[in-house]
Amino acid sequence: MKETLKKYWGYDSFRPKQEEIITEALEGRDVLAILPTGGGKSICFQVPAMMKEGICIVVSPLIALMKDQVENLKKRGIPSLLVCSGMSHREIDITLDNAAYGRYKFLYVSPERLGSGLFLARVAKMNVNYLVVDEAHCISQWGYDFRPDYRRISEVRSKISGTAFNGRKPPVIALTATATPDVAQDIMRCLDFEKPNMLVSGFERPNLCYTVRGCENKLGQLLKVCNGVQGSGIVYVAKRRTAEDVAAFLVSQGVDATAYHAGMGNNVRSAVQNSWKKGEKRIIVSTNAFGMGIDKGDVRFVCHYDVPQSPEAYFQEAGRAGRDGGLSYAVLLWNSTDIKRFRQILSTSYSGIPYIKDIYQKVHSFLKVPYETGGGKGYKFDLNEFAKTYRLNASQAFYAIKYIETAGYWTLTEELEIQSKLSVAVSRDSLYGMQLGSEEMDNFVKTLMRMYEGLFGGYVTIDEERIAKVGGYSVVAVEQKLKMLGARGVVHYIPKLHSPILYLKGERLYPDNLYLSKSDYESRLQRDKARQDAMIEYVTREDKCRSQLLLEYFGQKESMACGMCDVCRTRLRS
């Protein structure tokens, strides 16, 4: 184990619990690993996968994180693949072919791809050593981020096989940072564990100082935090507009800050993220779209400008501070407006089953999907345009759409930047006989032909930035040339699309056939209310250590007061 760790990752020793988890996996046992944010979850499956023959399948809901991990593995000389939303059928087909017959060690898959016939047919031909379920709490309907597509993992498990364990089924390695005891048991049941097997690292973060500040002037308090704590920081906010406004305020006060949210293009987000990771920007102000898988150990503070919706979300986001072990701060700002917002969100999130059913029909009408059609297809979906069309409250409609997703009828992806597509509209002989107007345009077309095979056979995914780099053009010039060729009928060019995609799981149902369980609805409502209540208790109580409150929520009943949080410091002063 240590030789593999040293060879590929350069570390001499493991973090707490990693070695035990890897040992369980190497012995072929299913294992659920609950490690705090920054606890090194990826090492727990990557090391055993490198020690066993075959390919490791990793299921994760976070496309940005998967891309990041695949790139990091490739940099270490470990051949890895990715299948996710936004890829064409041909791209997925080629990738799965490589996974089945090539010499690859990891295949990362987004959950919505699991149910496709193409994937299930190919996975049966793969020599699988492990099935890894990242963010495993998503499989539990009682988890705070339930994803119905995760329920397909058990079907995938029934089809996989491999030689790594002498004919025995490949084991499951499930990982999460946020699972209460009830959710942990549900995870193991849903994944068909042969025997319950859970390894939990202590949730204590002895280097993290939790601080809660009740304040009406949040901007003033935030400025004090940014000026009072040196080093890199993350500020979490609830809305995209707030991210931009808060970042602008900090910059106006001389603080080196920048905004980040899912509404930005991929290139912009990547540039912002990289500048912050490299230390070129000190503070990033973001929605919860930021942070998953970010390997930056020297974050000295995480400040929540808005109160998160659950202790799970707060613990995960706050835990991104101090991953290097150095003293760091988790600061949460709140006032009575937050509590009102909480209750309003709960009311907006649960508008009643009749309303949710009505939204189901309106969405299909908006997408122009007739009854008994649409199953298995994906559609661009603009929430604001939808709400405007039917004169709906956008937030209320959004929560209804997400509820229908938890019921398994469709999947609404995160905002995706679907890559540009290109095909040649004329025959090969016709193209080479054309006078394109200039030597520069002739050279541009030759560059395209060299870079992308198959342009004459159908649409091929292209990258304008890569074309620009290879040909010595600006990105704008590449886009202009492609549009000019399109206008002349030489090519079919589909520029990249930045939009959420709604995938319909089945055909559109008539109103009488749409089933939404009343008991499930009430259970979800009560559980979300309990999470809100726990979060309100966390910010309002002033008589118990903040760390102990969080640990108790996650089932760790015995713990010492941290001695550092605002409650403990007040006690020490008194």
Q: How would you write 322-345 as a 3-class SS string?
A: CCCCCCEEEEEEECHHHHHHHHHH
Cβ pair 293, 64 in contact under 8 A: yes
Summarised one tens digit per residue, pLDDT across range 173-219 is 999 988 888 899 999 999 999 999 999 887 788 999 999 999 999 99
Q: What are the distances in angstroms from CA 77 to CA 69, 175, 244?
A: 13, 24, 39
Cβ pair 299, 328 in contact under 8 A: yes
- Give yes or no for a contact between 375 and 492, defined as CB atoms under 8 angstroms apart: no
Of 138-152, 408-422, 552-566, the one with minimum mean pLDDT is: 408-422
Segment 524-532 mean pLDDT: 93
135: helix, strand or coil = coil
> 481 by DSSP, 3-state: which?
helix
Q: What share of the chain is helix, strand, coil (3-state, %, to 5)?
A: 45, 15, 35
Return the CATH class of domain 208-334. Answer: alpha beta
pLDDT of residue 291: 66
User: What is residue 415's predicted lDDT score, i.e. its pLDDT?
Assistant: 59
Rounded to an integer, what distance in angstroms lies between the CA atom of residue 423 and that of residue 442? Answer: 17
- Which of the residue ranges 122-131, 264-273, 304-313, 351-360 would you say has the lowest mean pLDDT? 264-273
Q: Which of 174-188, 320-334, 452-466 has the lowest mean pLDDT?
A: 452-466
566: left (phi over 0), alpha (psi -120 to 50) or beta: alpha
What is the structure's pLDDT at 356? 97
Of the candidates 45, 55, 27, the residue with the CA atom closest to the CA atom of residue 165: 27
User: Is residue 266's pLDDT more than 80?
Assistant: no
Which among 325, 273, 274, 280 is positioned nearest to 299, based on CA atoms? 325
Average pLDDT, the chain: 90
In the predicted model, what is the mean pLDDT of residues 391-401? 94
CB contact set of 48 (below 8 Å; sequence gap of 6+): 22, 25, 26, 129, 130, 173
Token pair in block for residue 574 = 């008194």
Is pLDDT larger for residue 522 or for residue 293? 522
Q: Has residue 536 got a pLDDT over 90?
A: yes
Residue 243, φ and ψ in degrees, nearest 5:
-60, -45
Residue type, 86: G
Q: Residue 428's CB: how many other CB atoms inside 10 A?
A: 11
Average pLDDT of 61-75?
Answer: 86
Q: Where are the beta strands (DSSP E) in 194-339?
A: 198-200, 208-214, 232-236, 257-260, 283-286, 299-304, 328-334
CB 165 within 8 A of CB 171: yes
pLDDT at 365 over 80: yes
Segment 470-476 shows an average pLDDT of: 87
Q: How many helical (H) and strand (E) elements, i.e. helices and strands, does the chain have?
A: 23, 21
Around Cβ 289, how many Cβ atoms within 10 Å?
Answer: 18
Tokens of 125: 């031909």
CATH class of 2-200: alpha beta
* Rg (the chain; Cα; Å): 25
Give residue for tokens 């109160």. 307
> pLDDT value at position 535?
95
Tell me if residue 351 falls in helix, strand or coil: coil
Q: Which CATH architecture has domain 342-416+499-526?
A: Orthogonal Bundle (1.10)
Distance, in Å, from the CA atom of 84 to the CA atom of 86, rounded to the nearest integer, reads 6
Burial of 297 (0-12, 13-18, 19+ CB in 10 A): middle
Beta carbons within 10 angstroms of residue 240's beta carbon: 17
The arithmetic mean of pLDDT across residues 537-560, rounded, is 92
433 burial level (CB within 10 Å; 0-12, 13-18, 19+): exposed
Are 119 and 160 contacting, i.e. CB atoms less than 8 angstroms apart? Answer: no
Domain boundaries, given as residue ranges, for the chain: 2-200, 208-334, 342-416+499-526, 420-495
The SS3 assignment for 114 reads coil
- Which of 18-32, 335-349, 483-497, 560-574 shows the lowest mean pLDDT across its residues? 483-497
pLDDT category at 526 given cuts 50, 70, 90 is: very high
Distance between CA atoms of residues 517 and 311, nearest Å: 27
CB–CB of 364/246 below 8 Å?
A: no
- What's the whole-model pTM score? 0.78
Contact 137, 144 (CB under 8 A): yes
Reported confidence tier of residue 267, pLDDT bands at 50, 70, 90: confident
Q: How far apart are CA 60 and CA 55, in angstroms?
A: 16
Predicted confidence (pLDDT) at residue 494 exceeds the cutoff of 90: no
DSSP-assigned beta bridge partners for residue 377 = none
List 380's β-bridge partners, or say none. Answer: 501
So what's the pLDDT on residue 372?
Answer: 95
Q: Do domains 2-200 and 208-334 have the same CATH topology?
A: yes
Instruction: List residues bridging with 491 in a β-sheet.
Output: 424
Structure tokens at 53: 């023959």
User: Is the confidence at residue 47, as pLDDT, over 80?
Assistant: yes
Q: What does the pLDDT look like over 108-149, one tens digit per residue?
A: 998 888 878 889 999 999 999 999 999 999 898 777 778 888
247: Cβ contacts below 8 Å, ≥ 6 apart: 257, 258, 259, 285
pLDDT at 446 over 80: yes
Contact 434, 490 (CB under 8 A): yes
